[in-house]
Copies of this chain bind each other. A is one copy, B any other.
Amino acid sequence: MVKRYLDMITLRDTLDLIKKSFDFQPSSEKVGLEKAVGRISAKAVFSKYSVPMIHLSAMDGIAVRSEDTQGASQSNPVKIKDYKRVNTGNVIPPGYDSVIMIEDTWEDKDCFIIRKSSHPWQHIRPVGEDIGESEMIIPKYHLIRPNDIGALASYGVTEIEAISLSAGIIPTGSELVPFGEEIKPGRVIESNTLMAGAILESAGVAYKRYPIVIDEPDLIREQVKKGISENDFLLISAGSSAGTKDHTASIIAELGEVLVHGVAIKPGKPVIIGKIDGKPVIGLPGYPLASYTIMREIVCPVLEMFGFKVPYKHKITAEISNSLQSPIGTDEFVLMSVGRVDDRYVAVPQSRGAGVQMSAVRSNAFMKIPGDMEGISAGNQVEATLSVTPEQAEEAFLIIGSHDPCLDFLADIASAKGVDVHSNHVGSMGGIMALKKNNCHVAPVHLLADNGEYNIPYIRKFLNGKEIYLLCVAEREQGIVSETGISFDEIKDHTYINRQRGSGTRMLLDYLLKEKGISYSEIKGYEREVTTHLDVALAVRNGEAECGMCIYSAAKTLGLKFEPVIKERYELAFSKEMLKDPRMDAITECINSQEFKNSLLKLGGYDTKNTGEIRKA
């Protein structure tokens, strides 16, 4: 029976159903020790013999009969004539039962003199000291580490039986361009199976990527038949929605059984769980972030059921910076940047746009908003799962505030110093508010006050009582971007693309309009907001608007004309506590570096004479 797309079941029920529906016996294969790190043993490995196999000397010295040494003391030196010279690791010759260290002996003509008796088994590594014949070295389902390899090799093991699984991945979709070919507007590079393959590989599962199949049921059916015959586990990428071109579910139903079509999970709702020839088949959704979510939340648990160790397991508790709404009845997964600010982790949600794949790159963690919650309020504790190691999460440096393209270059230079910059563009005022709640390490700001001064008046007003410092990134030129060279005075004669409320650039526009007595309604396009300088320039280049306000570098990058309006001070605001944070030291060093200044000069429109200057607000 095919369960329909709209009869969605919960993620937990889906996993329970999967657990009951298959017997999860992985295959196994012999793997040479040189290749065994990261593999999982399929059965216990026992030692075939004792190590050492024979008594060995643990010291450089002489092997003696302990009975010959009895009574030796400082006042009663004893001459030992029956001995054998041994070095560390040498076999103890038969008949001897004790080793005296060479430094405790005095060599005489034909003998050694000792001044202390030696007890039996002294300085001898007896047979089986390390491991005894028949003892277990590693159990089954043991993840092999480099230190295990060394020991196994020492004990004469040359290969292990490791669990294995072969997975096939079939990409489907007529809109897809194969990876490696030139992208064309309106077409999509087939990237999901690359991501899926990389996750399988991280877990130690071998995979085969099949060629792209266009949306033709007959072709898909043939490929699925082939995929299932050649593998233990099959992933079919895309075609899982309920649309007319989505054939995956009906083909699985034809060749086997659809267990689930549609899970109450976001993103990833249209996932299909099927069974063909007793093997699990998973239909992945087409949207990259949905596909990534299903790989993490369903495919990884399936691999665990087979006995593999999977990534995405380490959880931390964090304080969420923003409130999030979420549909009731659906487990929603939200990508986030987490970083340690003072003594707790802060989690900053990334864009939830289904098409914003950069969220997966920018984030270092994710969280689940469970189906029984309508959302989460800012400041609450949440459980975040890391997509990096715990140590990398400690390197995260949270920047929340105004956008500037130079933050990319700052992130690049900082990365070499072990600082992982996470920038969130919410405008200058958003930055000030994040700093107020202690939700970021630094807030980039460029806020012009009525007295003509930058930043400090706003900080004093909104962060009253906090000791705040400002690190100057640069002075930069703001102006009007256009194809034709429109000046500020001409903007009301043209369509305009605006920045979001709370951004310094928007506040500058409003300030200037007020000064010049122009009302907002005179600006055509005033309502449409984008969030970065580059977005403004892109909108102009694409003809969505004739002009907008942005910094010079954004206009230059896209080859557009620029009419300067003002030079403004772009600074990073931070609290006193950060002065002793090593991540802040690294960032300050980066901003002062010639490499960073050179990148500003290359971007254009920056004056670096105050770059690196720190002032108290």
Contacts and interface: CB of A to CB of B under 8 A. Distances in A.
Interface in A181-234: 182-183, 185-186, 188-192, 194-199, 201-202
A146 B198 contact: yes
A357 B307 contact: no
Contact of A189 (B126, B156, B309): B156
A55 B188 CA distance: 13
Contact of A292 (B147, B175, B307): B147
Nearest to A414: B139
Contact of A313 (B56, B292, B391, B532): B391
A513 interface: no
Contact of A151 (B46, B130, B135, B191): B191
A411 B137 CA distance: 11
Given A134-B557, A147-B387, A243-B60, A140 B416 contact: yes
A121 B544 CA distance: 9
Contacts of A90: 186
A22 interface: no
Interface size class of A (residues with CB under 8 A): 35 or more
A33 interface: yes
Given A139-B421, A314-B389, A389-B313, A355 B153 contact: no
A145 B355 CA distance: 19
B199 A392 contact: no
Nearest to A314: B390
A120 interface: yes
Contact of A89 (B58, B188, B198, B360): B188
Interface of A: 33-34, 37-38, 44, 46, 49-56, 58, 60, 87, 89-91, 120-121, 125-143, 145-156, 158, 175, 179-180, 182-183, 185-186, 188-192, 194-199, 201-202, 243, 288, 291-292, 295, 307, 309, 311, 313-314, 353-358, 360-361, 387-392, 405, 408-409, 411-412, 414-416, 418, 421, 528, 532, 534-535, 538-539, 542, 544, 557-558
A399 B472 CA distance: 58
Nearest to A195: B150
A353 B128 CA distance: 13
A357 B292 CA distance: 41
The 8 closest A-B pairs by CB, nearest first: A150-B195, A153-B191, A146-B198, A136-B408, A91-B186, A139-B415, A147-B360, A139-B412
A86 to B, nearest CB: 11
A538 B50 contact: yes
Contacts of A180: 158
A348 B544 CA distance: 67
A292 B191 CA distance: 40
Contacts of A134: 405, 534, 557-558
Contacts of A130: 353, 355-358
B128 A534 contact: yes
Contact of A183 (B138, B156, B198, B542): B156
Contacts of A542: 55, 126-127
Given A129-B353, A389-B313, A544-B126, A137 B91 contact: no
Contacts of A202: 37-38, 146
A153 B194 contact: yes
A132 B56 contact: no
A535 B146 contact: no
Nearest to A58: B355
Contact of A53 (B139, B183, B198): B183
Nearest to A543: B94
Contacts of A51: 357
A149 B202 CA distance: 12
Contact of A361 (B58, B148, B538): B148
